[in-house]
Amino acid sequence: MTDRLNITLLGSKFMGRAHSNAWSQVGRFFDVHPRPVLHTVVARNAAELADFAKQWDWANYTTDWNAAVTADETDLVDIATPNRAHREAAIVALEAGKHVACEKPLAATLEDAEAMAAAAAAAPGRTFVWFNYRRVPAVALAHRIVASGALGRIYHARASYLQSWGGPNTPLLWRFQGDIAGSGAHGDLNAHIVDAVRFITGEEITSVEGAIEETFIEERELLDGSAGDDISRNGAIGRSTVDDAVLFLSRLSGGGIASFEATRLATGYSNANRIEIHGESGALRFNFERMNELGYFRDDLEGSERGWTTIDVTRGADGHPYAGAWWPPGHGLGYEHGFVNQARDIVAVIGRGEPEVPLPDFADALQTQRVLQAAIDSAREHQPIQIEQP
């Protein structure tokens, strides 16, 4: 193994920026081997690509994704494109012997996700999925607390992901086009909290007992040219073909129950990713809008001492995951740090080391995709859906 890990990134929009920042920062805060190298960035818009590459210090740029991901110089292909494009790029890269990191959800459809997981199982490269909230110190600590047995048997998991940016004045971006995104708030937001509940509890979701899928805004203003956030509007109207909100109820493999809610129309909330876990001996709660805190309730304390404790998870010296690489206690982390923390763990695994907490690969992310599909099937068929187990 060489000391360099040449990265080829597909995508130069929101996630392309987040990933570029992660790869450029990880070696500055963590001792990583091999050393990530921002080798090539790929995107469709040639006019914007040169500026993006210069801004983020990518050594090369191209619009030819196939040549880039199969090039001898490429070690890791990082996929940060719309969901529809995940399958082809991932499989080509895996068949070329590359490591692959892919944005969530794993794919636009369950069929695509199954094909990607099958390709990964047959390939020599390692796979990773950017469920970045696993790398938030509070969520990683919650995982460790549950794994220690401190909560005992899990009774309830309660998760919601509430955003408000998808109102009637939001145009028909690719995220509202089913043939590109696969789903709306469900795949974008429920994917995160389904993964988080599986990760924190260590349990699988075995069934969806009931679900609601709703599209409140069926028509949106079109954009000039191809879909993109920065293209001027032309006044024409197109049909939104994804959900605006999905809620569902599930059963956990340990006998507990879980609820999930995702929406882009929760007026007043920008990014409220909330998770509660209730067990026989205690409970945990997390809200990303206060990402440097973890709520912890212990049922074994005396009556006068019992109550919710707020843990400040910025104390690396006390063993809080990832915190020791960053700032002094009390100096909080932000959204981008979860991506940097994940980049650290990806490099560690490729370098035959250990991640701070478990990383999701394609097989792991496929199970989340099965849950997402079961919720949609339940909503449309009005019946419980059993979920295939790994």
In a domain, 355, yes or no: no
Q: Is the pLDDT of residue 231 over 50?
A: no
Note whether 77 and 67 are same-domain residues. yes
Helix (H/G/I), strand (E/B), else coil: 127: strand
Q: Is the pLDDT of residue 301 over 90?
A: no
Q: Report, as an integer, the average pLDDT of 374-380.
A: 98
Note whether 115 and 175 are same-domain residues. no
Give the pLDDT score at 1.
58
In a domain, 389, yes or no: no
Give the length of the chain: 390
* Band of pLDDT at residue 228, cut at 50, 70 and 90: very low
In a domain, 354, yes or no: no
Q: CB of 225 within 8 A of CB of 214? A: no
DSSP letters spanning 213-275: EE-S--EEEEESSSS-TTSPEEEEEEE--S-SEEEEEEEETTS-EEEEEEES--TT-SSEEEE
CA pair distance 158, 8, nearest whole angstrom: 37
CATH (domain of 15) = 3.40.50.720
CA pair distance 232, 337, nearest whole angstrom: 32
Q: Tell me: the pLDDT tens digits for 7-66? A: 999 999 999 999 999 999 999 999 999 999 999 999 999 989 999 999 999 999 999 999
Q: Is the pLDDT of residue 207 over 80?
A: yes
Q: Please report, rounded to a whole number, the percentage of residues in the chain having pLDDT higher than 90.
A: 92
Among residues 226, 179, 13, 195, which one has the least CA distance to residue 85? 179
Q: Please report, rounded to a whole number, the percentage of residues in the chain having pLDDT higher than 70.
A: 97
Note whether 31 and 180 are same-domain residues. no
What's the chain's average pLDDT? 95
Note whether 159 and 127 are same-domain residues. no
Burial class (CB in 10 A: 0-12, 13-18, 19+), 5: buried
Q: Is the pLDDT of residue 146 over 60?
A: yes
Give the domain-ending residue among 75, 99, 132. 132
Note whether 268 and 224 are same-domain residues. yes
Q: Which residues have C-beta within 8 Å of that of residue 240, sequence separation ≥ 6?
A: 172, 176, 177, 184, 215, 217, 218, 219, 220
Give the domain-ending residue among 113, 132, 151. 132
Q: Tell me: the pLDDT tens digits for 347-358? A: 999 999 999 999
Q: Is the pLDDT of residue 226 over 50?
A: no
CA pair distance 238, 222, nearest whole angstrom: 6
Q: Tell me: the pLDDT tens digits for 254-298? A: 999 999 999 999 999 999 999 999 999 999 999 999 999 999 999
Note whether 21 and 148 are same-domain residues. no
* Band of pLDDT at residue 230, cut at 50, 70 and 90: very low
Among residues 127, 85, 80, which one has the least CA distance to residue 104? 80
Give the pLDDT score at 235.
74
Q: Which residues pair with 249 in a beta bridge?
A: 210, 259
Note whether 194 and 120 are same-domain residues. no
C-alpha 90 chain-centroid distance? 16
Give the pLDDT score at 302.
84
Q: CB of 76 within 8 A of CB of 348? A: no
* Band of pLDDT at residue 223, cut at 50, 70 and 90: confident
Note whether 71 and 175 are same-domain residues. no
Tokens of 266: 């929760």
Instruction: State the helix-helix crossing angle for 14-29 and 335-350, rounded to 10 degrees.
Output: 60
Q: Report, as an integer, the average pLDDT of 108-131.
A: 98
Q: CB of 386 within 8 A of CB of 377? A: no
Note whether 164 and 94 are same-domain residues. no
128-138 b/e with 16+ CB inside 10 Å = b?
bbbbbbbbbbb
Q: Report, as an integer, the average pLDDT of 132-147.
A: 98
Say how many domains are in the chain: 2
Tokens of 377: 């099937």
CA pair distance 25, 374, nearest whole angstrom: 38
CA pair distance 188, 166, nearest whole angstrom: 12
CA pair distance 214, 245, nearest whole angstrom: 5
Placement of tokens 């047995």 in the chain? 149
Neighbours of 314 (CB within 10 A): 21
Q: CB of 62 within 8 A of CB of 12? A: no
Domain span at residue 152? 134-332+361-381
Torsion (CA) 72, 73, 79, 82 in degrees, nearest 10: -70
- C-alpha count within 13 angstroms, C-beta hemisphere, residue 337: 21
* Band of pLDDT at residue 225, cut at 50, 70 and 90: low
In a domain, 289, yes or no: yes
In a domain, 226, yes or no: yes
This prediction has a pTM of 0.95
Note whether 154 and 271 are same-domain residues. yes
Q: Which residues pair with 124 in a beta bridge?
A: none
Q: Report, as an integer, the average pLDDT of 377-384.
A: 98
Q: Report, as an integer, the average pLDDT of 103-126.
A: 98
CATH (domain of 153) = 3.30.360.10
Note whether 226 and 374 are same-domain residues. yes
Give the domain-ending residue among 132, 159, 193. 132
Q: Is the pLDDT of residue 324 over 90?
A: yes
Q: Is the pLDDT of residue 135 over 80?
A: yes
Q: Is the pLDDT of residue 232 over 60?
A: no
H or E stretch including 41? Answer: strand 35-42
Q: Is the pLDDT of residue 229 over 50?
A: no
Q: Report, as an integer, the average pLDDT of 360-386.
A: 98
Note whether 40 and 113 are same-domain residues. yes
Q: Is the pLDDT of residue 227 over 90?
A: no
